[in-house]
Amino acid sequence: MTSMDIGCGFTEGVQVPVYADISLDLNMNQVQPTFLKKLKEHNSNPLCASATHLPIRSEIMTQIYWNAVLEHLPRQTTIDSIRDGKRVLKKGGEAKVILPIITAHMHHYLIVLWTQFPFSMYDILFALYRANKYWHIPGVPHLTDVKPYHLKRVFREVIVEKHLYRHKWFHYPWGRITRRFVNNRFIPDIQGQYHIRCIK
């Protein structure tokens, strides 16, 4: 086993496809049966453990993934978690990280409301319902504002790809009208994510 997904999630649809030999999550004991079946189909071994104390020997993994997980950790343990992830990597191993550009849930929803009203009201209400449903589960709420420079303190090399999604105003049929006002330029969506490669 050479790869591990740290904080893989525990509900159906969180991870498509399953891409690591070990899928680790703090809430793996609450995993949905359909998600567990998907892990088994992809020969990924589920592991219930904390992202801050990995039960893995040092320098054994060639690749680890933090897919939208570091922002869910308490502030005082975020850097410790990054260091522990580095510990399990072999020399020259790679960590693939996805971080939201807007970390705080409330900031995110306010920006969605401001930039996409009235089209996004259903999306916002549904997202708030789901957030409230899972809020009491450890590891679910956004707690820390994590940026790429936090990773640069730990890893030898950090390559940042600022991946921004196209704004919803340019996706739907009315996008044809919207594009006329900006001469068909690409308008990024600030709700996008940082895609980062960290090399030990």
Distance of CA 138 to the CA centre of its chain: 16
- Rounded distance, CA 150 to CA 7, Å? 18
Residue 147 near residue 75, CB atoms below 8 Å: no
Average pLDDT over residues 178-197: 70
* Mean pLDDT estimate for the chain: 78
The full set of domain ranges for the chain reads 50-103+138-167+191-199
Residue 65: the pLDDT is 93
Q: What is the pTM of this model?
A: 0.71
Residue 59 — pLDDT band, cuts 50, 70, 90? very high
Residue 49 near residue 85, CB atoms below 8 Å: no
Q: What angle do CA 137, 19, 198 make, to 5 degrees?
A: 85
With a CB cutoff of 8 Å and minimum separation 6, the contacts of 41 are: 18
What's the CATH number for 50-103+138-167+191-199?
3.40.50.150
Q: Say yes or no to pLDDT of 191 above 60.
A: no
Read off the pLDDT of residues 97-123 as tens digits, 9 standing for 90 and up.
Answer: 988 776 655 565 666 666 666 666 776
pLDDT greater at residue 20 or residue 129? 20
